Amino acid sequence: MRRDVDRTELPGGSAYNLVDFIPDEVQAVTSGRGGWTYAGPSLLGATKITAVGYHPDTGKVVAIDQAFNLWDVAAATKLGVGTFGGGAMMANPSCPPTYHRGYLIFAQGSGGLPCFYKKDGTFGTIGSQLFTYTTAYKDHTVGAGYASQRVYFSAAGDPTTWDTTFGYWDTTGNITALATTLNSILIFHADSTERLRGTTPPPGSDMVLEPFLPNIGCIDAFSVAYWNNRVIWCASNGIFMSDGATVVDLTASAQMSSYWQNIMSVYSASTWRIAGGVYRNHYIVSINNGSTLIDCFCVSLQNQAIWRFTNLNGSSFVNVSAGQQEKFYMGQNNAGRVAELSSLWAPGSTVKQDGDGTNPTPIVETGMFRGFDRLHRRWIESMGKQKWRFGYVDYDLGDSATDNPTAALSYCKIPAQPGRFSPPNYTQAGLSLPATSGANATGVHRVRRSFSPTQGGATHSQMLGLKFAVTGPYAFVNLYALEGTFEPIEIGSL
């Protein structure tokens, strides 16, 4: 999917819009995603998940709800019931939890004392300093205060012991997130990033604070994720990845910067949640305004391509690798449950819908195609009108029962309606495309549909854009080719 290039000039292999499809990875040129499932039973009384985490010592995925309860997700039992020691278990966490030396640490979004959950089932608070953001570096827990420029370090191997008199480092602005690489701490501000290099924290430190990215900050600590010793995060001007020495603008590499920046032009720090996580070499980031999903991007970290998913209203993500199995969990921003997203890459009859009953909505919208004119012995792209007669689709759409999923081929003659970001008007080409196989059979079908409502007619246009859309539920859908036929009628006409 590319948006930094005009739709009439998209290069081959690109899509103007790609939704709920996974390109070049599952079974075909592009394949529809599977539905997600729930990771456990309903969490009684929960209406929203504010953070999810994983405690490797207990093997438990845990979640915090809107009422500050801590849950064992798989068992749907409360591990902490709102208050202990006279204070709240958690008040609106502002970053993903940090695991260090048996402690799963939750920083308090309102600037309270960090809370912990231990393997033995005990709870409590650590230190005496108020932290909003935490991470772990070189066997130290690292914390940054609420609306503060200061970074604190715990004692080595002990998240509960802090020297608040000498064990800190002052930065140059209010901190919005923390992340670690192999040999540095990335300290994010709203519109810039600093790097704290070294191995021994203060006091008696060998660390050096230096500017790193003067024009790139982090707008939400929940967007921070890790992949192959690299940090990924979201800024107002793009999605970035760094190993602490170099930086890659993933949105620019995918030619999606303008699309991202258009979304961020109305960003509100008070109501928005931008949460990201990594699964199977992909960074999935969910953008929400309150309980409303604005958009969800899937970024292939290996080839730096981007496409979109629907119905992933994520407030927090966590990746769990147990043995040889990798799983991916999402706390729902619009419901009090935790979803497991591992089945997105494994469509089938058991995951033909999302856990909440929503159907995935695979859509491909192409660039705008022009016909060609023959000039002597050469074919040149035509600026004149063409007769567009037929469209052809090679696809495989599976029905696991009697759901009767269908697909449709549509076309448009201009890139967009009047208005800068208005979607085009599409006309369906002929009848809908039926399922090609039942539960026990598969078969790729090639079908033809007319671009004209009259028998033997044609649509006259200088260019044509195509759309392939699926209405489910479906067991699987694979798209192999979209093609069209044309005849030149105005050679050389501008």
pLDDT at 89: 58
Dist. CA 356–CA 336, nearest whole Å: 12
Percentage with pLDDT > 90 across the chain = 73
Relative to beta strand 87-88, strand 98-100 is: unpaired
Query: Of the ranges 161-175, 371-385, 424-438, which one carries the lowest mean pLDDT score?
Result: 371-385
171 pLDDT band (50/70/90 cuts)? very high
284 against 453, higher pLDDT: 284
Which residue did the predictor score with more confidence, 414 or 84?
Answer: 414
The answer to whether residue 86 scores a pLDDT higher than 50 is no
Residues 239, 297: contact at Cβ < 8 Å? yes
Return d(Cα 164, Cα 270) in angstroms, integer: 30
Structural domains in the chain plus CATH codes = 7-22+362-488 (2.60.120), 37-342 (2.130.10.10)
Q: Where are the beta strands (DSSP E) in 399-462?
A: 406-412, 427-428, 445-450, 459-461
d(CA 143, CA 56): 21
Record the tokens describing residue 25, joined without a space. Answer: 């990875």
Q: What average pLDDT does the chain have?
A: 91
- Distance, in Å, from the CA atom of 435 to the CA atom of 118, rounded to the nearest integer, reads 51
At residue 455, the pLDDT reads 76
State the Cα–Cα distance between residues 353 and 361, nearest whole angstrom.
10
Q: Outline where DSSP puts E strands in 419-458.
A: 427-428, 445-450
What is the pLDDT averaged over residues 76-87? Answer: 65
d(CA 309, CA 298): 7
Residues 409-448: tens digit of each pLDDT: 999 998 887 665 678 899 999 999 999 876 545 678 999 9
Higher-pLDDT residue of 341 and 124 is 341
What mean pLDDT do residues 131-152 have? Answer: 93
Q: What pLDDT was estimated at residue 494?
A: 44
Q: Percentage of the chain surpassing pLDDT 70?
A: 94
pLDDT recorded at residue 113 = 83
- Locate the DSSP E strands across 73-173: 77-81, 83-84, 87-88, 98-100, 103-106, 115-118, 123-125, 133-137, 140-144, 150-155, 158-162, 168-170
Q: Give me the DSSP letters along 150-182.
A: EEEEEETTEEEEE-TTTSEEE-SS---EEEE-S
What tokens were used for 448?
Answer: 């033809």
**What's the rounded Cα separation, in Å, for the pair 221 and 186?**
12
pTM across the whole model: 0.94
> What's the confidence (pLDDT) of residue 31?
92
Report how far residue 250's alpha carbon sits from residue 259's, in angstroms, rounded to the nearest whole number. Answer: 13
Q: For residue range 444-487, what is the model confidence (pLDDT) as tens digits?
A: 899 999 998 887 789 999 899 999 999 989 999 999 999 999 88
**6-12: average pLDDT:** 89
Q: Please give the Cα distance from 65 to 56 (Å, whole number).
A: 21
The pLDDT of residue 47 is: 95
Q: Model confidence over 207-257: pLDDT tens digits? A: 999 999 999 999 999 999 999 999 999 999 999 999 999 999 999 999 999
Indicate the helix (H) or strand (E) that contains 252: helix 250-253
Residue by residue, DSSP assigns 346-376 as: S--GGGSS-TTSPPP--EEEEEEE--EEEET
pLDDT in tens, 326-345: 999 999 999 999 999 999 99
For the record, the structure tokens of 132 come out as 């909003």
Q: 203: cis peptide before it, omega within 30°?
A: yes
- What pLDDT, on a 0 to 100 scale, did the predictor assign at position 26? 66
Residue 241, CA atoms < 13 Å, CB-side half-sphere: 22
pLDDT at 381: 80
Q: In whole angstroms, what is the distance from residue 114 CA to residue 98 CA?
A: 10
Q: Taking residues 12-17, report their average pLDDT.
A: 90
